[in-house]
């Protein structure tokens, strides 16, 4: 039976926080809820807070998985465009993109799996965040788009994890047309792991977390690291890289 008991982290319940935090399943699952207004833009403040939180969580041995969820109809609308205006300067722009890229890369390198819980629209860097997560649970009405073309700003960095999550032709279609794809198309393309009714998204994400939590944290961490390493190798090198990983995981 799914254990959905909830506990909020009292030490981080300040009103100005851009994240809400919940603990489930004996504190082994941390649910981070994007809570930046209605569209959850990935402002530098939100990126910093989410990045710092993920790094802290990854060090907690009891934690078996992380869920990134959201309040409002938008999972994330992407970067805060006001922070990317010309008058902010290229140094500020680089800081935002570098910090965001570091966070996305860290999600992949975390010891624990990260589950995206999407029940709305993910756009631009929001798609980048979705594509960077290990597992994605989406509601049937969810939409995914990289609309930079409409603004004269090609979604370059969102395309980095996107093209590693979906076929190149699908990625290019999304990037060049700036048109959204629905949850069914995202599932077929490989951007989404599973689809459920909108009202069941949270419970399905917690179900995935509970299933992961049954198993050894160290084996899960080793398996996640090996999966991403071998996925970028040719098949011969992938098989060769298996042996040290196998020996490390023998109980």
Distance CA 118, CA 138 (A): 5
Domain with 177 in it: 7-214
Within a domain: 2: no
Residues 78 and 159 occupy one common structural domain: yes
Q: Give the pLDDT of residue 248.
A: 52
Residues 155 and 102 occupy one common structural domain: yes
Residues 30 and 107 occupy one common structural domain: yes
Residues 110 and 198 occupy one common structural domain: yes
- The full DSSP string for 115-162 is EEEESSEEETHHHHHHHHSSEEEEETT-EEE--HHHHT---TTTHHHH
Blockwise average pLDDT, block size 10, the chain, 251 residues: 47 63 97 92 96 98 98 95 81 93 98 98 98 98 97 94 98 98 98 98 98 96 94 91 57 46
Residues 205 and 249 occupy one common structural domain: no
Residues 155 and 88 occupy one common structural domain: yes
Within a domain: 34: yes
State the CATH number of the domain containing residue 196: 3.90.226.10
Residues 146 and 184 occupy one common structural domain: yes
Residues 227 and 124 occupy one common structural domain: no
Q: Give the pLDDT of residue 17.
A: 84
Distance CA 158, CA 175 (A): 9
**Domains in the chain: how many in total?**
2
Residues 197 and 239 occupy one common structural domain: no
Within a domain: 193: yes
Residues 17 and 97 occupy one common structural domain: yes
Q: Give the pLDDT of residue 12.
A: 41
pTM of the model: 0.90
Residues 209 and 222 occupy one common structural domain: no
Within a domain: 47: yes
Backbone angles phi, psi at 197, to 5 degrees: -55, 150
Residues 224 and 203 occupy one common structural domain: no
């Amino acid at each position: 039976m799914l254990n959905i008991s909830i506990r909020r982290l009292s030490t981080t319940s300040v009103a100005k926080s851009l994240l809400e935090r919940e603990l489930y399943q004996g504190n082994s699952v941390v649910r981070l809820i994007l809570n930046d207004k209605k569209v959850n833009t990935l402002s530098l403040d939100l990126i910093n807070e989410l990045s710092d939180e993920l790094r802290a969580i990854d060090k907690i041995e009891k934690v078996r998985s992380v869920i990134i969820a959201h309040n409002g109809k938008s999972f994330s609308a992407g970067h805060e465009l006001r922070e990317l205006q010309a008058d902010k300067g290229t140094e500020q722009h680089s800081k935002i993109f570098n910090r965001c890229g570091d966070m996305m890369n860290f999600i992949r390198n975390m010891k624990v799996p990260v589950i995206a819980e999407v029940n709305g629209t993910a756009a631009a860097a929001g798609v980048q965040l979705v594509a960077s997560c290990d597992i994605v649970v989406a509601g049937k009405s969810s939409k995914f788009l990289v609309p930079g073309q409409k603004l004269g700003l090609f979604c370059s960095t969102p395309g980095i994890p996107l093209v590693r999550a979906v076929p190149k032709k699908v990625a290019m279609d999304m990037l060049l047309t700036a048109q959204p794809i629905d949850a069914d198309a995202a599932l077929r393309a490989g951007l989404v792991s599973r689809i459920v009714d909108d009202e069941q998204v949270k419970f399905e994400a917690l179900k995935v977390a509970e299933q992961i939590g049954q198993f050894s944290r160290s084996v899960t961490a080793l398996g996640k690291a090996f999966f991403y390493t071998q996925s970028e190798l040719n098949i011969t090198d992938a098989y060769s890289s298996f042996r040290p990983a196998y020996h490390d995981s023998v109980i």
